Amino acid sequence: MRAIAPERRVDFAAIRKDFPIFEQKVHGKPLIYLDSTATTQKPRAVIEELERYYRTYNANIHRGVYAIAEEATRRYEEVREKVARLLNARSVHEIIFTRGTTESVNLVANAWGRKNVGPGDVILLTEMEHHSNIVPWQILVQERGATLRAIPIDAEGRLDLSGLDTLLQGPVKLVSLTHMSNVLGTVNPVAEVARRAHAQGALVFVDGAQSVPHFEVDVRELGCDFLAFSGHKMLGPTGVGALYGRRALLEAMPPFLGGGEMIREVKLEGSTWNDVPWKFEAGTMNIADTIAFGTAIDYVRRIGYDAIAAHSRGLAAHMMGALEEIPGVTIYGPPAGERGGIVAFTLDDIHAHDVATVLDHEGVAVRAGHHCAMPLHAKLGLTATTRASVYVYNLPSDIEVLAEGVRKAKQVFHR
Amino acid sequence: MSLDDLYRQEILDHYQNPRNWGTLDHPDITAVDSNPLCGDEIRIDLKIEDGKVAAVRFSGKGCSISRAAASMLSEAVEGKTLEEVKQISREDVLDMLGIELGPVRLKCALLALKTLKVGVYGVQQSWPGEDEEE
């Protein structure tokens, strides 16, 4: 897992050719996709695995004893092993498949939260969380009579940990924070937060939706208790993600959804639960997408996290440099060295929707809005930002097209 | 639709010089709404005299399409009876803008109308993207 690979050059121009979506044109221009924070494009291998499943071994898992059912079951469970290795979990029993990060947060907020959070207790978040790491906890604390607190951020969009020990005092049951901000690109010192949280008796949930696609994440090194991420943000299909949870916690948690497969024995008077992780996988799971998610993990690991992280950081620095040269551009968040491949910016008083529409006509796909982080935008005093984010199929030439498009937006609205 | 068609001169003019911009001191009707997608906000104030719109002001935060639509709509309601205001349809607003919009930007274009309808009906009667109730 931790073997240091020798320095090797990855041909990212060749990687782009693995993604069929770039063979088309948008508004007559080549597609420049800069919205990987929202979802990534899919390589041919992933698309073909989906088709292979439906064409050759489509069957329900964990049930049939016939050949194709066993093939589907074997491949589905192999993905659990791939995820466990990816995160350096202790075993496959610590990996639960879900619909994605949002469902993973809801799973923990319901199954762990309703059992362990009571009146007066506190859930500690941060000011830079995605709505999916805020709202499930709000629902929980409202139901349980508990409260939410948030770790503040500083002017450059880093967590301000100076008051953390004070924030952690009292009945803080859990700290839930993002590993990498989906707006600012800030990479948070999760290991330090986890160490200080554990010292005060709080558990730690990590939203890894942006981090796991971009750099190596080791749950044992981080010392977190839960970590969630989504397949579709790392080249996999939509509708599947994974939740890591320490086994002792998962064993003690009641189920989230009830149904088939999550049970050991059902009587009309009551039921007993299956072993973890299957206790948390009720009903027919998203088999095809989970198997293709495994193909995506293989693809990411073949490129290698060292190369992906360096590529994203390099493009982010390039993007910040190119955008900063344009008068009227304001970039939010920390310096290039402290962030992943995400750059959120504003352009004078031109609305983000208008910037994004001009860029769209140049073939450039970016996100405009509050990126499901309204509290963060309120903190920054903003309604909306334009966000450009990169992944393995982006090249430096994409950044030039982006910068040219931003200049064009200025011309359109300041003429 | 090309960029020049989308951001045609009339839309940019309404965006950069919005008509009836601001608030009224003692409005008879005030309605506020927002677009959860982008956080855009709008407030529309109406002064009603003899059953007609004697004055209208709008304010808020929004993109060029949403502000231009609000500005054009504000001109359209001046002097109209409340009954006539109620008859303004989403097609009327899109005709004023004279552009084709995808489902996301359609919400920008129709935010002002939606807010205006909430104001004149007192409750929300129609939703952007859905057919008007006749």
- pLDDT tens for B64-118 read 999 999 999 999 999 999 999 999 999 999 999 999 888 888 988 999 999 999 8
Which of B2, B4, B7, B37 would best serve as a mutation to test chain A binding (most A beta carbons within 10 A)? B7
Q: For residues A314 and A300, what is the distance between their CA atoms, to the nearest angstrom?
A: 18
Comparing alpha-carbon positions, the chain A residue that sits nearest to B37 is: A369
Q: Which residues of B touch A370 (CB under 8 A)?
A: 38-39
Q: Which residue has the higher pLDDT, B119 or B125?
A: B119
Residue B118 corresponds to which tokens in the numbers above? 């909430």
**Predicted ipTM > 0.85:** no
* Residues within 8 A of B (CB atoms), A 190-229 only: none
CA A308 to chain centre: 15
CB contact under 8 A, A369 and B37: yes
Summarised one tens digit per residue, pLDDT across range A355-368 is 999 999 999 999 99
pTM: 0.91
Q: What is the mean pLDDT of residues A144-170?
A: 96
Beta bridge partners of A205: A176, A226
Phi, then psi, of A275 in degrees rounded to 5? -70, 160
Q: Which residues of A are marked as active site? A: 372
| For A367, nearest residue in chain B (alpha carbons) | B38
B19-45 burial string, b = 16+ CB within 10 Å, else e? Answer: bbeeebeebebebebbbeebbbbbbbb
- The count of C-alpha atoms lying within 13 angstroms of the C-alpha of B63, restricted to the half-sphere facing its C-beta, is 30
B12·A412 Cβ contact <8 A: yes
Phi, psi angles (nearest 5°) of residue A29: -120, 155
Q: Which of B2, B3, B9 is nearest to B97 (CA)?
A: B9
Among the ranges given (A24-38, A132-146, B39-53), the one the predictor scored with the smallest mean pLDDT: B39-53
Over 60: is that where the pLDDT of A387 sits? yes
